[in-house]
Chain A
């Protein structure tokens, strides 16, 4: 490789300035991943508080107002602080390596979009210590609970959302610019790995909806401080308008959190089945279809708000339609496994679990799409079960699969497979124990976002809490595994996985600080 000779001249800077001023996609990728894991632990600790309070009926540990702060901050931190930055971290590390580019297209902006995040989240977390406490109106922050009735810290929350929005938009621009302009010669769009494809589409979604989020929080800001009444009925405004705008952002947002995971799994399953991905083209079209449909289904979050019958029907049909491309993806993954020659290292275990559990989350999603039935499911633990099934074994297992898959490339060492499998099985059992009973709770009638519940819900809540504690503790094992792998371990070859394919496996492990300074040849 031509880049070798240059490594000596362009190694990383020394000390803290390496991290503050770096424009290197690998450094920035690592920072994103470390940041998101720190947020994951903080958001997780909040989940532990929630599950501890719900362990038994009655109020034991926290007051209702603090409980609401915990559910709100847990949601905000997991969505904006853990899952989204983790995928941006993976994109930073892997997209240039996968398309054969020397770096991201806009390296300085890359640095800036990362460093905005700690600022945003420090501000968000500081609201916990403000008079009146942190935001307590749920991560969906419906007006007027969040405007007229919100705590004083709401203003800081709005500013934090603006900053993370800017960060996301810049990250998305960078991804699009890199993928569209910096692919190695010969890598046509339909030759791109699926992780690249899913990220390209995700980035367009981000650019489309983050400004909508920024708009809605700005309207809140105006209502709170500048005397407007966008969402205040007493001043001629409309509280339901808030929900329309929020979910116009919010629904594509859930696909922003899952599409890159689709990409990851589509890389890993063929690698460990030692067989090409089934239906590559249909996978690409399915992701595109899902992305487009995701703009047309937002009001399925609002079936009980009182939208007219016609609207109700439109959003029900559109939502049901999403099951079709999603089904295609699942069938393709299963067909890829079929008649392969499979082994089950940690990345594959997480990917297989992804397919199974995400499918379960998809099924409950289909049930929720049936508008009449949604009148019984809406705002109950059934919904909580549903979105945790798509986000935990969906997004988060996808991230774990990716990390184990590429960790040898990042560190140059193999991770400890026994520990990693332990991490997988404990997470798998804990997660199902925590979230499966929530389906029953919701169907039996337990509303979400309550710190205390009627006695008939006691048993399943206790089981759920035990599972949550187990899942939570297990994630510390992951930290140990990664640190151990970073510090040492068996030397990883350039291509540690027998069936893996792609440009990232053509550079050494660990990947040199600069790669693909001269573009690779695509056959």
Chain B
């Protein structure tokens, strides 16, 4: 306790003393990098200054009264209690100011809602707690999860520069093209927000929302999920890489080839050791959030997989849970999310690790048969 307090005090002293040296005192909205984000920034600044001016006038009168019209200075109270002219004035003037504000706001809003004529459509799906991006018409999509380590979060190692704002697979979009985002969610409501684009839209299960952006300047832009979506809401960042169109096309081709190679892996002859090794990576990326690094979960909400009799006793049921999820709970259907190899790997891993030692395995081909048998 004492140590922590001292650390905190030291931290406080450092951050206050070195204040001017650090750029960590951002106080205002970013103007962003798109036409819309710039318009929004200007709206924000205009309304802010209007508020400041009104505030200064009102508070000036008030502070003058507080200073001059106090009993201790011998002020005698006046007795007026109404004045029609003044009252009409301070009703009408604000209305005029508001109309003045509403006009540019309306025009910006109309632009934000104009999702027509896009060059490229991307489907964004919120999951607890990562994002999936599908390039519509390209038959290509992938998951994007936070890559900050738990060691950083639990203060066991130094925090990196992009702490909590870094992912394994960023979304890649071409510069200078109108990109339309179609947004939905798999479980609860999330909200996809990149401040530099001024795009924030809720992703809602059962709904498809639309938003768009056109970014001219290549670069890396970061954001976060903005709608409370459960335990790891703080840990589902967004990273968007904007690249020149040529580079984008090359990237997309390479990704599609890699995905095809990945699919071929299904027919490979897998050994138990290979599957466990691969499964460990899948588990760390997909399952740890709920079932814990050591498989202990957090009963009764998230069951333990370590020593889970039901799971170990029935391989078919185990595979079924993974492929179909458990409806009405946080356990998602991984059948469409993971490749057959990864499904086989994570099932085999959980049966032969995390304190379990069942000695059996399921191959990617068996997973494929299982899925086909269901249809």
For residue B293, CB closer than 8 A to chain A, the reply is no
Query: Do A356 and B59 touch (CB < 8 A)?
Result: yes
Chain B contacts for A321, CB-based, 8 A: 98
Chain A contacts for B301, CB-based, 8 A: 132, 151
For residue A450, CB closer than 8 A to chain B, the reply is yes
Chain B 68-105 interface mask (CB, 8 Å, partner A; 1/0): 01111001111111110011001100110010011001
For residue A254, CB closer than 8 A to chain B, the reply is no
Chain B 32-49 interface mask (CB, 8 Å, partner A; 1/0): 000000011001100110
Query: Do A452 and B112 touch (CB < 8 A)?
Result: no
Q: Known interface pairs A144-B188, A320-B102. Does A373 touch B154 (Cβ–Cβ under 8 Å)?
A: no
Query: In chain A between 244 and 289, which residues have their CB closer than 8 angstroms to a CB of chain B?
Result: 273-282
- Pick the contact of A327: B39, B69, B94, B230 (CB < 8 A): B94
Q: Known pairs A68-B233, A375-B198, A440-B25; list 4 more (Cβ under 8 Å).
A: A149-B188, A304-B202, A306-B207, A324-B91
Would you mind naming 30 contact pairs between A and B with Cβ atoms under 8 Å apart?
A58-B155, A64-B233, A64-B234, A149-B187, A149-B329, A239-B205, A274-B71, A275-B79, A276-B79, A278-B80, A282-B87, A309-B109, A320-B102, A321-B98, A324-B98, A327-B94, A331-B90, A337-B65, A339-B78, A340-B75, A341-B77, A370-B101, A372-B108, A373-B47, A444-B28, A452-B153, A452-B234, A458-B15, A459-B25, A462-B15
Query: Do B70 and A342 touch (CB < 8 A)?
Result: yes
A positions within 8 Å CB-CB of B: 55-60, 64-65, 68, 131-132, 136-138, 142, 144-145, 148-149, 151-152, 233-234, 237-240, 273-282, 304-306, 309, 312-313, 316-317, 320-321, 323-324, 327-328, 330-331, 334-344, 352, 355-356, 359-360, 363, 366-367, 370-373, 375-376, 378-380, 439-440, 443-445, 447-460, 462, 466, 499
Which of B219-227, B248-256, B336-344 binds A? B219-227
Closest to B190 in A: A145
A452 to B75, CA, bound (A): 53
Q: Known interface pairs A145-B230, A372-B43. Does A455 touch B75 (Cβ–Cβ under 8 Å)?
A: no
Chain B contacts for A136, CB-based, 8 A: 230-231
For residue B30, CB closer than 8 A to chain A, the reply is yes
Query: Do B106 and A313 touch (CB < 8 A)?
Result: yes
- Pick the contact of B47: A334, A343, A366 (CB < 8 A): A366
Chain A contacts for B224, CB-based, 8 A: 445, 447, 450
Q: Known interface pairs A68-B228, A304-B200, A373-B40. Does A239 touch B69 (Cβ–Cβ under 8 Å)?
A: no
For residue B110, CB closer than 8 A to chain A, the reply is yes
Closest to A145 in B: B188
Chain A contacts for B117, CB-based, 8 A: none
B65 to chain A, nearest CB (A): 4
Q: Which size bracket describes the interface of B in this complex?
A: 35 or more
A499 to B77, CA, bound (A): 10
A281 to B87, CA, bound (A): 11
Query: Do A454 and B27 touch (CB < 8 A)?
Result: no
- Pick the contact of B163: A57, A274, A451, A462 (CB < 8 A): A57
Query: Do A341 and B71 touch (CB < 8 A)?
Result: yes
Chain A contacts for B230, CB-based, 8 A: 68, 136-137, 145, 149
Query: Do B24 and A305 touch (CB < 8 A)?
Result: no
A351 to B317, CA, bound (A): 65
For residue B298, CB closer than 8 A to chain A, the reply is yes
A336 to chain B, nearest CB (A): 8
Chain B contacts for A457, CB-based, 8 A: 24
Chain A contacts for B95, CB-based, 8 A: 324
What 6 pairs between A and B have smallest CB-CB spacing? A233-B206, A450-B234, A363-B51, A444-B26, A306-B209, A339-B78
Closest to B88 in A: A282
Q: Known interface pairs A305-B202, A306-B207, A379-B191. Does A447 touch B225 (Cβ–Cβ under 8 Å)?
A: yes
Chain A contacts for B69, CB-based, 8 A: 273, 337-342
Query: Do B189 and A142 touch (CB < 8 A)?
Result: yes
Chain B contacts for A238, CB-based, 8 A: 206
Query: Do A445 and B94 touch (CB < 8 A)?
Result: no
Query: Do B28 and A443 touch (CB < 8 A)?
Result: yes
- Pick the contact of A456: B24, B29, B61, B79 (CB < 8 A): B24
For residue B359, CB closer than 8 A to chain A, the reply is no
Query: Do A367 and B204 touch (CB < 8 A)?
Result: no
Query: Do A443 and B29 touch (CB < 8 A)?
Result: yes
Chain A contacts for B40, CB-based, 8 A: 372-373, 375-376
Chain B contacts for A144, CB-based, 8 A: 187-189, 205
Query: In chain B between 331 and 351, which residues have their CB closer than 8 angstroms to a CB of chain A?
Result: none
A413 to B12, CA, bound (A): 43
Closest to B29 in A: A443
B343 to chain A, nearest CB (A): 22
A19 to B37, CA, bound (A): 59
Query: Do A340 and B300 touch (CB < 8 A)?
Result: no
Q: Most chain-A CB neighbours within 10 Å: which of B83, B110, B229, B233?
A: B233
For residue B3, CB closer than 8 A to chain A, the reply is no
For residue B274, CB closer than 8 A to chain A, the reply is no
Chain B contacts for A367, CB-based, 8 A: 44, 47-48, 51
Query: Do A370 and B43 touch (CB < 8 A)?
Result: yes
Query: Do B205 and A234 touch (CB < 8 A)?
Result: yes
Query: Do A372 and B109 touch (CB < 8 A)?
Result: yes
Query: Do B105 and A370 touch (CB < 8 A)?
Result: yes
Closest to B162 in A: A454
A350 to chain B, nearest CB (A): 14
Query: Do A304 and B201 touch (CB < 8 A)?
Result: yes
A309 to B59, CA, bound (A): 37
For residue B328, CB closer than 8 A to chain A, the reply is yes
Chain A contacts for B91, CB-based, 8 A: 324, 327-328
Chain B contacts for A279, CB-based, 8 A: 81-82, 87
Query: Do A340 and B207 touch (CB < 8 A)?
Result: no
Q: Known interface pairs A341-B70, A379-B191, A452-B234. Does A138 touch B228 (Cβ–Cβ under 8 Å)?
A: yes
For residue B8, CB closer than 8 A to chain A, the reply is yes
- Pick the contact of B154: A58, A275, A330 (CB < 8 A): A58
Chain B 211-242 interface mask (CB, 8 Å, partner A; 1/0): 00000000000011111111111110000000
Chain B contacts for A451, CB-based, 8 A: 234
Closest to A238 in B: B206
Query: Do B105 and A372 touch (CB < 8 A)?
Result: yes
Query: Do B58 and A334 touch (CB < 8 A)?
Result: yes
Chain B contacts for A379, CB-based, 8 A: 191, 193, 200, 226-227
For residue B373, CB closer than 8 A to chain A, the reply is no
Query: Do B330 and A56 touch (CB < 8 A)?
Result: no
For residue B62, CB closer than 8 A to chain A, the reply is yes
B287 to chain A, nearest CB (A): 17
Query: Do A327 and B227 touch (CB < 8 A)?
Result: no
Q: Most chain-B CB neighbours within 10 Å: which of A58, A304, A380, A443?
A: A304
Closest to A437 in B: B27
Closest to B161 in A: A455
B229 to chain A, nearest CB (A): 7
A453 to B27, CA, bound (A): 16
Chain A contacts for B81, CB-based, 8 A: 275-280, 336
Chain A contacts for B164, CB-based, 8 A: 57, 452-454
Closest to A233 in B: B206
A328 to B90, CA, bound (A): 7
Closest to A336 in B: B81
A383 to B262, CA, bound (A): 45
A233 to B44, CA, bound (A): 35
B112 to chain A, nearest CB (A): 6
Query: Do A337 and B66 touch (CB < 8 A)?
Result: yes
Chain A contacts for B141, CB-based, 8 A: none
